[in-house]
Structures are given as C-alpha cells and as structure tokens.
Structure 1
Amino acid sequence: MDRLIYLDNAATTKTAPEVVEAMLPYFTEHYGNPSSVYGFAAENKEAVSKQREIIAGALGAKPNEIYFTAGGTESDNWALKATAEAYESKGRHIITTKIEHHAILHTGEYLEKKGFDVTYLDVDENGLVDPEEVEKAIRPDTILISVMYANNEIGTIEPIREIGAIAKEHGVLFHTDAVQAFGQIPINVDECHIDMLSASGHKLNGPKGIGFLYIRTGIKIRNFIHGGAQERKRRAGTENVPGIVGLGKAVERAVSTMKERAEKEKEVRDYLIEKVLKEIPYTKLNGHPTKRLPNNANFSFRFIEGEAMLLSLDMAGICGSSGSACTSGSLDPSHVLLAIGLPHEIAHGSLRLTLNEEITKEDIDYVVENLSRIIGNLRDMSPLYEDFMKKQAK
C-alpha cells in the first residue's frame, strides 16, 4: 500500500508519541503496586493522583470524583447497572435514547430483563434529542436519564446543558456517555448538571484499555468490582498505572490543543462535506449540519452497499467505517441511521469519515477522487441504480 489515509478516528486514534513516552517508565522503572506501603510504590500512587487531578481539571470536577476503569464500555455499564441497583427502592424507570452506543442500549436491555422499565426516546432527522420530550418522559419512579454527549456515528452534539437542567429540576440522576466528545469539545460537569460521565483514553490519542467514570460527590451508586480497596473501594483491582499515566497525558494534550485542533478539523471537515456533496450525486449528509463534532462527516450514498464501498476504499489505502454493522457479522443497517429516519436501502450505503489534525485538504482530494470512482463503479453494477436512471430518462 503506497498511501494510508486514516479516517476512522471515532473508532480509535493513534497513540500520541508524548503519551507513549510518558507511559514507558511505568512499565520498566516505576513498576511498583500503588497499594503497597513502601516508598518505591508510593511514587506510583502519587502519579495516579496527579492524573486524577489533570482529568478533573478538564471537566471542572474534583479529583476524588474521577474513577479509573478499563474504558468507556465499562464506565457506561457501571453508571447504569450500579445506579439501578442503588436506587431501585425509589423507582425502576430509566430514560435514554434510540441512538446511544450499544454499551448503553445493551445494558438497558439487560436491566429490562431484571424488571426495570427503560424508555428509549426518538430523535429528529438530525439526531437531536428534544429536551421537552425528555421532560415529558420523566415519571415519579424515574431514577436515571442517560443521553450521550455526541453521537459516535453521525457526530450530532446533544443539548446536554438543557437536559441536565431538567434532570436536576426533577431530582433525577443524569449520566452522559462522553466517549466521543471528551477531548474534542469543552465540557463542564457543573454547568451541564452532569452527575456521571463516561470517557475513554483511546478516543483522544491515549492508550486502549483505560477510561474513567466521573461520579459527582454524594451520588450513592453501588461498587462495580469487588475485591480490594482501589478506587476508594468502588472499583477493585490493581491500578493500570501506565494506562492511567497515558490517559492523563492524553487529556492534558487534548485540552491544550483543543481550540486550534478543532478549528483545523472543522475547516478540513467542511471542505470534505462540500466536495462530496458537490461531486457525488444522490448523496446525503447525516447528522446536524452545524451542531456536530469537529472531525465527523457521515454520508449516505444511494444505490450502493456499504461493505463493498469500504473494501474498495481499503484497496485505495483509505480507512473509514460503514453504516452497516458488517464487522459484527450482520448486514443490518445502523440503528442510528434508522432512528433518524433513513430507509434501510439508503442506510446500507453509508460512510463515516472521522478526521484528525494531521489530515489535509490534499488528503481529502485523494479521498473524494477515489470515493467518486468507487461509488460510480458500484452504481454501474446496481440494478436499483439502473432502474432509477431509466425512470429519470423518461
């Protein structure tokens, strides 16, 4: 492969060199267990505490409100399951949306089997949740609202501040899955009345296998993993010190570069969107036109199938992801695209391209040139496209 253009940063990101450099000593030099009492281990305990402070500062939170986990999926599971268990005497109703990550949706399905009632709210054609619909769904037995900060597929940024205010007014706990948003856009947990927040290191140029759950002081959710006294007895297990140090460095890097990085990504993203919509007919942009993550562009191309498109892009050295869940062995279209009203046949032909700050307009020119060629070839083989063009010619 002569050229690689990686446009799947919503799936994972390249670990930044400075993050790797910060982590390395904690594999070979500072390898002590932070729970041990001698000075050699105490250095690692201090390192873990420092990262907690960095992450808390990025959210406007307190260090003792940050709990390290193995990633966003664990954090989401913890927030929902432990809240349900701790507050079930008050009620057994949870509110979320139809476009959440499967870490939320499948946990909701699990809780439904345990006797909880979960309301899955609709979204509009841009993927936005209506705060008024959130408020209407609240019942006397509602114990938790969970709405993602920004959607992982179409990039739409949700009205979190308004939803948080509604939750607070009604005395309902509010959790947000901020895995895609944290490090991309500014987040303040107090301003948004967020009680719990999930995030993951590998989405912001940090290592895989590390994340955190923010839990506001006073929230009495249950412990998630039982065993030792780590994470103030709420999440037992020896701390992943190299991962925690890498996460802290990644957060520090993301916060310090956020404004400049977002401006650059938006410029290139908008160039991509304009070029695709102009040069490839019968194409639709999915997600909100302006209220979207700086690096996200999601398109639907009529008359084609997403998996074939991805494979052809891969042959050209371009990495993206499809609206079809082909990697899971299923060709069902994305639940997010169906939730915003796309019919199955159009949702099948979708492509998510997510940038990083290294992607240039020259890269985009190469991508769109190849994408236009690939879409054209696939449509030439499509009976649906052939029928459509015959009707247009009449």
Structure 2
Amino acid sequence: MNRIYLDNAATTPLSEEVIDAMVSVMKTTYGNPSSTHTLGQEAKILIENVRRQVADYLHITPAEIIFTSCGTESNNMIIKSCVNHLGVERIITSPMEHKCVAETVLDMKKRRGIEVVYLRPDQKGDFDLAKLEEELKSSGKKTLVTLMHANNETGNFLDIKKVAELCHENGALFHSDTVQSMAHMAMNFDEILLDFASCSAHKFHGPKGSGFAFVRKASGLKGIITGGPQERSLRAGTENVSGIVGLGKALEVALKNMDRDISHIKEIKKYAVERLKSEIEGVKFNGHSAEEDRSLCTVLSVLLPFKDPMIGLKLDMKGIAISQGSACSSGASKPSMVMMMLLTEEEMEKCTPLRVSFSHLTTKEEIDALTDALKEIANTFGIEKTNIADRQITL
C-alpha cells in the first residue's frame, strides 16, 4: 500500500540533504564541543556556524540563540525562568495554546501561585487586542504574555508585532511559541520586539530532538537545566552536534526553496479546499484556515458534517496518515481545547474536526485520494445533504 502523509504539522520527513549532513558529522566530527582539543573544537565550530545562520535568519545576534531539544523544552525553559528568575507574577495567555505552554503555565500557577489571565477567542479564533491592552494596564504585577504565532490546529496567525508593541509599551514580557511558523516564512526579530520564541527542527524537515530558544539579549533569563556552562549557561549538557547541524541544514534548504515551496503548498491547500467543498456537502473550515492571508499555508482545519470519532483510524487503514487535532492530544477521546473554543455544542455533537497539514512534498493526487476516502466514509453515514447552522459561540 502506498502511504499518504498529511500530518506535517505533527512532524515532517527528513530531507535527504539533512540526513547526509548529519551522517557526515556523526562519522567524522564526534568530539565533545566543550573539549579543548582539535576534535572538540571542530564540533564547537559546527555549532557556532549554525547559531550564526539562525541569527542571520531572525536578524538578531548569535548570543540570543540557545540550542535545545525541541520547542517544548524551549517553552518550558522560558516560562519557568520568567517566573523563577525574572519576578513574573502574572501570565496572560489563551486556551488555544499548545499543551507544552498551557500545562507549564498551570504548573507555575500551582507551584508558584502565579495569577493566570486567559484571553478568549471569538468564533473565528481571533483575539481582541484591545482586551489584551486593557488586561496589561489593569495590574501592576510583572506580567508575561505567552501567545503562539500560528495556531497548530487552525493555522490562524497572531499579529505578534502588534502584541510585542503592546507588551513593550506596558512593561510586560512577550513570549511566542513560533514552532509552526519558524522556517515557513520570513522572520525579523529586529522589527518584531518580542522577548522570547521557540523552534523545533522537525517541523521543517529537520531532525527530532533539535530546536532552539530565542532569548532577547539582556533579558536576564536563566537556565533550568544546570550542570555546565554550555549554551551561555542557559542549558547545561553536551550539545547534540549532529542534531544542531541537521537543524542548520534544514533551515538552509527551507530558506533556499521558500518561495517555490510556499507557492506549491498554497496551491495544494487551495486545491484541497475546492475539492472538499465540491465533494462533501456541508463541509466547513475552522478559524481562518481556508483563508490564504490569515492562516499558515501548511495547515487546513476541516469540519466534516458527520460524527465519526474513528475517522483517523479509518483513514489510516486506507493508507492516509492524518490527525484529528494536535499530535500531543490526538489520542484523546474528547475534542481538543482549540476545537472546544471554536465549535458550537451542535457541531461538537454532530461534526468531526480533521487537521490536514501539507508540505512541499504533498501532491494533488494525494488530496484526491483523501477526498475520495472522506466521501466514501461520509456515504456510510447516509450523508447527501447537510446544512450546518451559522456558528454562534458564547464566551
């Protein structure tokens, strides 16, 4: 069976260039980067070259990049250190955040008594920035705002430049989970004045187990993993040299091919929207997922007009790998928090959310196969015509 992979928001396949670069390092540059001998310093040079490469992409200084294992570690380090070392007493966030942010915030509330304020989305998944400004001005407590750049389930964009300006004007720190958007678009942190951000290489065809945190210079952030001076004393432990090189190569390939790849993915996403609309009566799209300029091109959040909790398994049996939501909650029996925020009670009872996520490798033939499979499943429910009422949501 030829397998079709449409779960690129969960992880992406390694590119051949990345595999070759990592294998070469594992074979020839095996020294410990903290060692002073030649083999160690050769490894150190590789790490610093990637650090400069990432810094150039983000228009920042190399000292502001800290290599980690993934976005989850980066987010944990930033949020916990803000509370433990920077005196943050209050966090403004949203129910739409990835679990690694949401659960870390709750952990800080439980362990450190942090006040948590949630911004509620509207029916499209957008946040009222006037409400954010009101919350920023309402308290004298030192505040951290943590809001993701592109939602991992709907693809909705947040105007992080505007949020950063509001935070800066009101003396708050701003952290953004940029895992889904990093390396999929141009980024300029010299113009976007956020304080902290995160990245995972495996979201753009790099290796799992390699990521980084952006930590604004002079922020005062301290590490939560101790035991050595690695990574500017912010993350102790011997560096994953081959993983960091893989991250660098994946970023290099992504930037080199960005215009071509983004154009292709946008075309694929538009094609998917058109095919699903034409073949499945009553299908809808969550948030701004189907709008080209308001969501990440790699993610399409679909709302199917029938209830089928087993749809992921049924598609897998047809050779199609796909997710019903975030990979970190895909095994859950209830809808994700994101879907609970966006769907009406009627939609949660009668409809099925599905996340389709693309890469430059996705083809129109694969979208055709998905559409045919979903149409076949819909027919088993006797779906011929469905009219879902316009959404209403009470927050």
Secondary structure at 1:297 match in 2: strand
After superposition, residues 346-361 of structure 1 pair within 5 angstroms as: 349-361=352-364
Instruction: Give the match for residue 131 of structure 2.
Output: 133
Matched, 1:79 2:78: yes
Distance 1:56 1:111 in 2: 30
Shift of the alpha carbon at 1:376?
Answer: 1.9
Secondary structure at 1:74 match in 2: helix
- Whether the aligned pair in 2 keeps the contact of 1:300 and 1:346 (CA below 8 Å) is no
1:273-320 residue CA offsets vs partner (Å, 9 max, x unmatched): 1211221112210121231111211111133123x1111111211111
Matched, 1:95 2:92: yes
- Whether the aligned pair in 2 keeps the contact of 1:333 and 1:348 (CA below 8 Å) is no
Distance 1:236 1:347 in 2: 49
After superposition, residues 1-394 of structure 1 pair within 5 angstroms as: 1=1, 3-88=2-87, 91-113=88-110, 114-138=112-136, 139-288=139-288, 289-290=291-292, 291-306=294-309, 308-323=310-325, 329-343=331-345, 345=348, 349-377=352-380, 379-380=381-382
Shift of the alpha carbon at 1:94?
Answer: 0.8
Q: Quick one: structure 1 residues 325 and 248, their matched pair in 2 at CA, closer, same or farther if it must change by over 3 Å? A: closer
Shift of the alpha carbon at 1:323?
Answer: 3.7
The one-letter code sitting in structure 1 at the alignment partner of 2:318 is: A
Q: Quick one: structure 1 residues 247 and 93, their matched pair in 2 at CA, closer, same or farther if it must change by over 3 Å? A: same
Secondary structure at 1:321 match in 2: coil
- Whether the aligned pair in 1 keeps the contact of 2:10 and 2:327 (CA below 8 Å) is no
Secondary structure at 1:64 match in 2: helix
Instruction: Say which is worse superposed, 8-17 or 343-352, in terms of deviation.
Output: 343-352
The one-letter code sitting in structure 1 at the alignment partner of 2:96 is: I
Distance 2:350 2:29 in 1: 50
Distance 1:366 1:201 in 2: 29
Shift of the alpha carbon at 1:326?
Answer: 9.8
Shift of the alpha carbon at 1:346?
Answer: 5.0
Distance 1:324 1:360 in 2: 22
- Whether the aligned pair in 2 keeps the contact of 1:70 and 1:212 (CA below 8 Å) is yes
Q: Quick one: structure 1 residues 347 and 340, their matched pair in 2 at CA, closer, same or farther if it must change by over 3 Å? A: farther
Q: Quick one: structure 1 residues 214 and 148, their matched pair in 2 at CA, closer, same or farther if it must change by over 3 Å? A: same
Compute the RMSD of aligned alpha carbons: 2.0
The one-letter code sitting in structure 1 at the alignment partner of 2:359 is: N
- Whether the aligned pair in 1 keeps the contact of 2:151 and 2:180 (CA below 8 Å) is yes
Distance 1:152 1:195 in 2: 21
Distance 1:317 1:349 in 2: 19
1:329-384 residue CA offsets vs partner (Å, 9 max, x unmatched): 5311011011124336258611101011121222211211111111221x24xxxx
Instruction: Say which is worse superposed, 141-150 or 45-54, in terms of deviation.
Output: 141-150
Instruction: Give the match for residue 392 of structure 1.
Output: none
Shift of the alpha carbon at 1:26?
Answer: 2.1
Moved over 4 A (4+): 324-329
- Whether the aligned pair in 1 keeps the contact of 2:99 and 2:328 (CA below 8 Å) is no
Shift of the alpha carbon at 1:4?
Answer: 1.2
Secondary structure at 1:183 match in 2: coil
Q: Quick one: structure 1 residues 337 and 224, their matched pair in 2 at CA, closer, same or farther if it must change by over 3 Å? A: same
Structure 2 gaps of 5+ residues are: 388-395
Shift of the alpha carbon at 1:40?
Answer: 1.5
Shift of the alpha carbon at 1:327?
Answer: 6.1
Shift of the alpha carbon at 1:28?
Answer: 2.2
Q: Quick one: structure 1 residues 150 and 327, their matched pair in 2 at CA, closer, same or farther if it must change by over 3 Å? A: closer
- Whether the aligned pair in 2 keeps the contact of 1:9 and 1:354 (CA below 8 Å) is yes
Distance 1:179 1:215 in 2: 15
Shift of the alpha carbon at 1:127?
Answer: 1.5
Q: TM-score, normalised on structure 1?
A: 0.92
**What fraction of aligned residue pairs are identical, expressed as a percent?**
38
Structure 1 gaps of 5+ residues are: 390-394
Distance 2:185 2:378 in 1: 33
Q: Quick one: structure 1 residues 325 and 219, their matched pair in 2 at CA, closer, same or farther if it must change by over 3 Å? A: closer
The one-letter code sitting in structure 2 at the alignment partner of 1:188 is: N
- Whether the aligned pair in 2 keeps the contact of 1:324 and 1:332 (CA below 8 Å) is no
Q: Quick one: structure 1 residues 280 and 216, their matched pair in 2 at CA, closer, same or farther if it must change by over 3 Å? A: same
- Whether the aligned pair in 2 keeps the contact of 1:324 and 1:333 (CA below 8 Å) is no
- Whether the aligned pair in 1 keeps the contact of 2:324 and 2:330 (CA below 8 Å) is no
Secondary structure at 1:292 match in 2: coil
Shift of the alpha carbon at 1:193?
Answer: 0.9
Distance 2:343 2:362 in 1: 31
Secondary structure at 1:24 match in 2: helix
Secondary structure at 2:176 match in 1: strand
The one-letter code sitting in structure 1 at the alignment partner of 2:337 is: H
Instruction: Give the match for residue 393 of structure 2.
Output: none
Distance 1:18 1:297 in 2: 28
Distance 1:69 1:326 in 2: 19
